[in-house]
Amino acid sequence: MKRFIQFIIDFLRSGFSGGILFWAWMLFLSFFIMLWGYGEFVQIRDGMIVTGLNDQVSWGFYLANFVFMVGVAAAAVTVVFPAYVYKHHELHRIVVLGEMLAIAAVVMCLLFVTAHMGRPDRLWHIFPVIGIFNWPHAMLTWDVIVLTGYLALNIIGGFYFLYKKYADTELNKTFYLSVVYIAIVWALSIHTVTAFLINTMPARPMWFHSMMPIKFITTAFAAGPSLIIIVFLLVRRFTPLKIADEAFHALSQIIVWCLGIALFLTLSEIVTELYPSTEHSLGLQYLMFGHHGLNTLVPFFWTAMALMIGGFILLLIPKVRKNLLVLPFICLAVFIGIYIEKGMGLMLPGVTPTPIGEFAEYTPSNIEFMVVGGIWAIGFFVLTVLIKGAIGVILGDVRYTESESRTVQGEQTKAATT
């Protein structure tokens, strides 16, 4: 137990160490975290009236970000799966960084749901025994189970691996690989269940189709690796951990094929909905072309499609895809495009029009922007600490010694880490 406690202390010490750039980044994030605290305080004090939500549009900015971030969390499997199933050597070296990203993403997901609740102090109503868990009948309960389970699997798997390396002891491969393979399957389940959360509503034609889970997974496996590539390139630039080009080439191939499938599914949905053009297609028409002057979402939809299609075409070209100077910008474009299309571009047309045909436009309030921006800042804050701590262990700069427990940091790490 003493050695494990020392591991936590040394890990956090490494995670919070750095130079001027590191502390500038952390202070930048802290500013938005303070805004999040203020926004949550105002929302809890005054109620959901401070948001832009209304009787017609009761699902908005919070759940749009939640749906998107579940996909990012699930996309950690794009690093884990090739590393352990296909024995990709370069991805295997850094697989634990993917697990750290999954942990940060799930933390963000839970915070988005908490913000949407309005009264998080009533969360105890869903707890077993003291509340009504309502499993297996409630789809929301399924979502709680898969998200918390996925968080636990990544914490157990990631930190077990790091602890064993820190202590320089052998992994129990039976235990560790069992956790890894369960997590791979579980990653698919978290986004599938999230899709079921919305596509099991017959009164919402925009969501009510069996293609939704497949589209969720394909967009997740395009947006998630895009963020992973950006993070890994930053790791390679600002830390001594050298990530081989082959790792980026493998992830970029996953992006291009999953993005291609996602675009095909989007085209199929457009043709299926708009060719007969019944009243069930009003949500998609509102998203793409507006409705009687209500056209707030129209430029966002076409911007998202331009970013996704442009990114897909560029990634199809091997020379462009393998150019690591250009790749992060393409990944950023794909990430933003999917964020728009899968977030507000999916959530709002699903509730507009209402089942009785009402159209009501929704614009997030300043409080919602504060809360959402703060949650993103919390996610990147957690991710920064986790990745820096994990890199210290991977490089051997953070390790346990028999004579005394301490963090051993080499001069090279001190010089190169910012």
Give the chain's domains with CATH numbers.
25-396 (1.20.1630.10)
Share of the chain above pLDDT 90, in %: 71
- Amino acid identity at 68: F
From 52-66, 126-140, 276-290, 375-389, the region with the lowest mean pLDDT: 126-140
- The candidate with the shortest Cα–Cα distance to 155, out of 232, 99, 107, 106, is 99
Angle (CA) 324 184 312, round 5°: 35
pLDDT reported for residue 412: 43
pLDDT in tens, 373-411: 999 999 999 999 999 999 999 998 888 776 544 444 544
From 90-94, 193-197, 284-288, 402-406, the region with the lowest mean pLDDT: 402-406
Cβ-proximal residues to 409 (8 Å cutoff; 6+ apart), any chain: 14, 17, 392, 397, 398
- CB under 8 A, 24+ apart: contacts of 84-93: 84/177, 84/180, 84/181, 84/184, 85/184, 88/246, 88/247, 88/250, 90/243, 90/244, 90/246, 90/247, 90/250, 91/247, 91/250, 93/243, 93/244, 93/394
d(CA 257, CA 77): 16
SS3 at position 294: strand
d(CA 163, CA 172): 12
SS3 at position 325: coil
Contact 298, 306 (CB under 8 A): no
From 130-139, 192-201, 248-257, 288-297, the region with the lowest mean pLDDT: 130-139
pLDDT reported for residue 415: 45
pLDDT mean across residues, the chain: 90
* pLDDT at position 416 over 60: no
Residues in the chain: 418
Q: 318 pLDDT band (50/70/90 cuts)?
A: very high
* Average pLDDT estimate for 71-89: 90
d(CA 370, CA 375): 9
Structure tokens at 254: 């996953």
Structure tokens at 63: 């759940």
What is the value of pTM for the model shown?
0.92
Contact 108, 219 (CB under 8 A): no
SS3 at position 291: strand
Contact 286, 294 (CB under 8 A): yes
- The candidate with the shortest Cα–Cα distance to 368, out of 66, 124, 92, 78, is 66
* pLDDT at position 313 over 80: yes
Look up residue 52 and give its DSSP letter. Answer: S
Structure tokens at 240: 């001594």
Look up residue 125 and give its DSSP letter. Answer: G
- Find how far residue 17's CA is from the centre of its chain: 25
* pLDDT at position 136 over 90: no
